[in-house]
Amino acid sequence: LAESRPHYGGTLRVAVKESPQTLDPAAQGVPVSISRMIFETLIALDERGRPQPLLATSWQSDPGSQRWRFFIRGGVSFSDGSPLDSAAVAASLRNSNPQWKVSAAADMVMIETESASPDLPAELALARNSIVRRSDAKLSGTGPFAIAQWDAGKHVALIANEPYWAGRAFVDSVQIDVGKNDREQMLSLDLDKADVVEVAPEDIHRARAENRTVKASEPEELMVLVFTHDPSSDDETHARNALALSIDTAAVNNVVLQGGGEPCGALLPNWMSGYAFVFPTAANIEHARAERMQAKHLPAWTLGYDPLDPVARVIAERVLLNARDAGITLQLISSSGSPDLRLVRIPLSSSDPHVALTALAEAFQLPQPRFENASAAALYSAEKSMLQSHRVVPLLHLRSAVALRPNVHDLNVLPDGTWSLNNAWLSGEKP
Amino acid sequence: MSLRRRLLVLFALTVFVSVAAVTGIISAMARSAFDRANDERTNALVAQFRREFTRRGEEVSRKIQAIAATSESNRIAIAAAGSSPDYSVFLDDAQTVAETHQLDFLEFADDRGTIISSAQWPAKFGYKEPLVTPSPSADPFLKEEETPGGPALGLFGIRGVAAGDRKLYVIGGIRLDKTFLASLELPAGMRVLLYENVDRDKFLPDHLIGAADSKIDPQEFAPLIRQVQQSNAQQNPVETGAVIHENSGQSSGDDETVNAIPLTGDNNQLLGVLLVASSRQIYTELSGQIRSAALLAAAVGLVMAVLLSSWAAARVTRPVEELAHAAREIAGGNWSAQVKSTSRDEIGQLAESFNHMTRDLLDQRDRLVQAERVAAWRELARRLAHELKNPLFPLQLTVENLLRAREHGQQQFDETFQESASTLLAEISHLKNIVGRFSEFSRMPVPQFQAVGLNQLAEVVVKLHKAQLNAAGRPPIESRLELSAAGHIAADPELLHRALSNLVLNAIEAMPDGGVLTLRTRQGFTSAYIEVSDTGIGLSQEDCARLFTPYYTSKVGGTGLGLAIVQSIVSDHGGRISVSSEPGRGTTFMIELPANRDKLPATTMPVGMSEPEENS
Model pLDDT for residues A321-353, shown as the tens digit of each residue = 999 999 999 988 875 678 999 999 999 989 999
Helical (H) or strand (E) element with B186: none
B391 pLDDT band (50/70/90 cuts)? confident
- Give the closest-approach CA distance of A43 to chain B in angstroms: 41
B584 touches chain A (CB under 8 A): no
Quick check: B60 pLDDT over 60?
yes
- The long-range contacts involving B363-371, CB below 8 angstroms and separated by at least 24 positions, are B365/B335
Q: Does the distance separating the beta carbons of B122 and A314 come in below 8 Å?
A: yes
* Over residues A26-45, mean pLDDT: 92
* Over residues A370-383, mean pLDDT: 91
A213-242 pLDDT, tens per residue? 999 999 999 999 999 999 999 999 999 999
B125 touches chain A (CB under 8 A): yes
DSSP B551: T
Model pLDDT, residue B212:
62
Model pLDDT, residue B262:
84
Q: Does the distance separating the beta carbons of B127 and A255 come in below 8 Å?
A: no
Least confident of A369-378, B51-60, B348-357, B372-381: B372-381
* Over residues B277-284, mean pLDDT: 75
Q: Does the distance separating the beta carbons of B148 and A256 come in below 8 Å?
A: no
Helical (H) or strand (E) element with A146: strand A145-151
Using CB atoms, pick whichever of B89, B121, B126 lies closest to residue A317. Answer: B121
Quick check: B558 pLDDT over 90?
no
Portion of chain A with pLDDT greater than 90, in percent? 79
Quick check: B447 pLDDT over 60?
yes
**What is the distance in angstroms between the CA of the first residue and the CA of the last residue of chain B?**
38
Q: Does the distance separating the beta carbons of A258 and B89 come in below 8 Å?
A: yes
A266-281 pLDDT, tens per residue? 999 999 999 999 999 9
A269/A64 Cα distance (integer angstroms):
29
Quick check: A431 pLDDT over 60?
no
The average confidence (pLDDT) of chain A is: 92
B198 pLDDT band (50/70/90 cuts)? confident
> Any bridge partners for residue A43, and if so which?
A53
- Give the closest-approach CA distance of B171 to chain A in angstroms: 20
Model pLDDT, residue B407:
85
CA distances, A418 to each of A46, A177, A200, B512 (Å): 12, 17, 14, 160
Quick check: A88 pLDDT over 60?
yes
Measured between beta carbons, the chain A residues lying within 8 angstroms of B122 are 314, 317
For chain A, the C-alpha Rg in angstroms (whole number) is 23
Beta strands A145-151 and A138-140, pairing class? unpaired
B605 pLDDT band (50/70/90 cuts)? very low
Portion of chain B with pLDDT greater than 90, in percent? 14
B337 pLDDT band (50/70/90 cuts)? confident
* Over residues B217-241, mean pLDDT: 76
Quick check: B46 pLDDT over 60?
yes
For chain B, the C-alpha Rg in angstroms (whole number) is 60
Model pLDDT, residue B229:
83
* Over residues B581-605, mean pLDDT: 81
Using CB atoms, pick whichever of B89, B91, B123 lies closest to residue A321. Answer: B123
Quick check: B252 pLDDT over 60?
no
* Over residues B205-211, mean pLDDT: 83
Model pLDDT, residue A429:
53
Q: Which of A156-165, B130-139, B508-517 has the highest mean pLDDT?
A: A156-165
Quick check: B602 pLDDT over 50?
yes
A207/A89 Cα distance (integer angstroms):
42
B98 pLDDT band (50/70/90 cuts)? very high
A254 touches chain B (CB under 8 A): yes
DSSP-assigned states of every residue in B472-533: TTS--EEEEEEEE--S-EEE-HHHHHHHHHHHHHHHHHT-TT-EEEEEEEEE-SSEEEEEEE
B123 touches chain A (CB under 8 A): yes
Nearest chain A Cα to B118, which residue? A314
Strands ordered across the beta sheet of A67-72? A56-61, A67-72, A108-112, A101-105
B124 touches chain A (CB under 8 A): yes
A247 touches chain B (CB under 8 A): no
Q: Does the distance separating the beta carbons of A314 and B148 come in below 8 Å?
A: no
Model pLDDT, residue B559:
66
Quick check: B247 pLDDT over 50?
no
Model pLDDT, residue A13:
96
**What is the distance in angstroms between the CA of the first residue and the CA of the last residue of chain A?**
15
Q: Residue count of chain B, please give it.
A: 616
- Cβ count near B307 (within 10 Å): 11
Q: Residue count of chain A, please give it.
A: 431
Model pLDDT, residue A136:
81
Quick check: A264 pLDDT over 60?
yes
Task: Identify the three-state secondary structure at position A69.
Answer: strand
B609 pLDDT band (50/70/90 cuts)? very low
A83/B75 Cα distance (integer angstroms):
64
A43-79 pLDDT, tens per residue? 999 888 899 999 999 999 999 899 999 999 999 999 9
Model pLDDT, residue B244:
57
A241/A227 Cα distance (integer angstroms):
12
- Give the closest-approach CA distance of B85 to chain A in angstroms: 11
Model pLDDT, residue B237:
55
- Give the closest-approach CA distance of A315 to chain B in angstroms: 7
Helical (H) or strand (E) element with B365: helix B346-407
B526 pLDDT band (50/70/90 cuts)? confident
Whether the CB-CB separation of A322 and A245 falls below 8 Å is answered with no
pTM, two decimal places: 0.63
Least confident of A77-86, A362-371, B34-43: B34-43
- Give the closest-approach CA distance of B127 to chain A in angstroms: 9
Whether the CB-CB separation of A190 and A27 falls below 8 Å is answered with no
Model pLDDT, residue B519:
94
B238 pLDDT band (50/70/90 cuts)? low
